[in-house]
Amino acid sequence: MADDPLAQESSAQDPLALFDSWFAEARQSEPNDPEAMALATADAAGRPSVRMVLLKGHDERGFTFFTNLDSRKGGDLAANPHASLLFHWKSLRRQVRIDGPIRAVSEAEADAYFASRSRDSRLGAWASDQSRPLPDRATFEARVEAARERFGAGDIPRPPRWSGYRVIPERIEFWSDRAARLHERRLFERTGSGWREGLLYP
């Protein structure tokens, strides 16, 4: 990119503010799901697993996503409460990597987000045994219809096994594409209540 905003932002010391800036630009330029992020976890034996999830909130406390707690990712995080996130905004030729421990969101936060989902999405949360073997698609669709009948036109509460996690950043790396693979990698590492900033070789 000819005018690389990374170079212009070289004086920024707050990686969360820098993320806000990049995320706002991604929302303007990405054709689909700028909030999509790869979530990497590992089980108790250290076996890794990665999948795409959606960022549902971020602030000074961390980066939040929601899931079925009985899913593979939920099992991994129960055994090994650390995660890595990767945002790849191809339209901007940028990446952001975030590493840190995880913490469960509050019951109130989980309830509020669940209530904001579409009715069909809430029914799906009740119908799905996420990550478990499914004999055929018809079985899942039948379970969705059973949930629809169960709740009728009434409220659909949050399932007990459904909640969210917050990744508390300890490392945040901002990657910017440069010509001839001479990329720029800017690393922030948490130090107590502040951040230490440096560069990495590409």
Where along the chain do its domains lie? 5-114+162-200
* Strands of the chain, DSSP E: 36-42, 48-54, 57-59, 62-68, 82-89, 94-104, 162-167, 171-176, 184-191, 194-200
pLDDT of 179 reads: 92
Give residues with Cβ within 8 angstroms of 28, minimum separation 6.
none
Determine what percent of the chain falls in helix, strand and coil, rounding each to the nearest 5.
30, 35, 35
pLDDT of 116 reads: 96
Report pLDDT digits (tens) over 46-80. Answer: 999 999 999 999 999 999 999 999 999 999 999 99
Distance set, CA 83 to CA 40, 89, 169, 181 (Å): 6, 20, 9, 27
Pairwise CA distance, residues 166 & 154, whole Å: 30
Q: What percent of the chain has pLDDT over 90?
A: 92
pLDDT of 190 reads: 94
pLDDT of 153 reads: 92
pLDDT of 156 reads: 97
**Structural tokens at position 110:** 């989980």
Determine whether domain 5-114+162-200 maps to CATH 2.30.110.10.
yes
Q: How confident is the model at residue 2 (pLDDT cuts 50, 70, 90)?
A: very low
What is the number of helices (H) and of strands (E) in the chain?
Answer: 6, 10
Pairwise CA distance, residues 103 & 4, whole Å: 35
Report pLDDT digits (tens) over 9-52. Answer: 444 479 999 999 999 999 999 999 999 999 999 999 999 999 99
Average pLDDT over residues 155-184: 96
3-class secondary structure, 175: strand
pLDDT of 192 reads: 84
Report pLDDT digits (tens) over 159-173. Answer: 999 999 999 999 999
pLDDT of 193 reads: 81
Please identify every residue annotated as catalytic: 181
pLDDT of 17 reads: 95
Q: What percent of the chain has pLDDT over 70?
A: 94
pLDDT of 21 reads: 96
Quick check: pTM over 0.85? yes
Report pLDDT digits (tens) over 89-115. Answer: 999 999 999 999 999 999 999 999 999
